[in-house]
Chains A and B, each alone.
Chain A
Amino acid sequence: GAVVSQHPSRVICKSGTSVKIECRSLDFQATTMFWYRQFPKQSLMLMATSNEGSKATYEQGVEKDKFLINHASLTLSTLTVTSAHPEDSSFYICSATAMRNRANTGELFFGEGSRLTVL
């Protein structure tokens, strides 16, 4: 099956610093990657959609200057939380779609998530 690797799994940082989270598709090319944020005991909230080689599309209410997304290759997307504050503490999850039989079923393959704690 398709594997998505997300790193780091946990990060603790001081307020005001920036944190980068990487999401890699290991055995397939991911034309589209998605970044989600999840609060405890809640569902996933889509932050942005990232297409290889183009600018990310952000959901309403998500600050693009705060959450920088780069999708430089078909196997790597990064999310950088800039000038992090305690309210940015959350669980961030990436996912990717894979093309199968020239069709996108919409099935998503998820990374293991990154727990960000901003002190």
Chain B
Amino acid sequence: SQQGEEDPQALSIQEGENATMNCSYKTSINNLQWYRQNSGRGLVHLILIRSNEREKHSGRLRVTLDTSKKSSSLLITASRAADTASYFCATLPAGGSRLTFGEGTQLTVNP
């Protein structure tokens, strides 16, 4: 199966609630990144966490990384309808130069 598998595939929540998405990977990584894609648009880089980091924050985003479990989570707090999008994790392998993308989580935030 593909490096960077995400769950859930789809998530529907109410505005104001928190959204948590998870990503698992298989090989050693240099860093892990999260991207957002609005429908029919390109991807936007959200946050990068290095392999020696465990947690990182950016505004309403919180990312954790557990290299022993080869997993990461993205938490969006106090979600807004405008957060509706697909979210992808991507891993940069240790010693590698190409990102590998997960399958993505489709987040829908209902007003």
Contacts and interface: CB of A to CB of B under 8 A. Distances in A.
Contacts of A41: 106
B71 interface: no
Nearest to B6: A43
Interface string B1-45: 010000000000000000000000000001101010000111111
A34 B98 contact: yes
Q: A interface, how many residues as a size bin?
A: 20 to 34
A108 B43 contact: yes
A6 B106 CA distance: 24
Contacts of A34: 98
Q: Tell me if B's interface is mostly helix, strand, loop or mixed.
A: strand
A112 B99 contact: no
Contacts, number: 56
B30 A106 contact: yes
Interface string B37-58: 0001111110010000000000
A44 B97 contact: no
Interface of A: 4, 6, 32, 34, 41-44, 46, 49, 91, 93, 95, 104-113, 115
Contacts of B33: 106-108
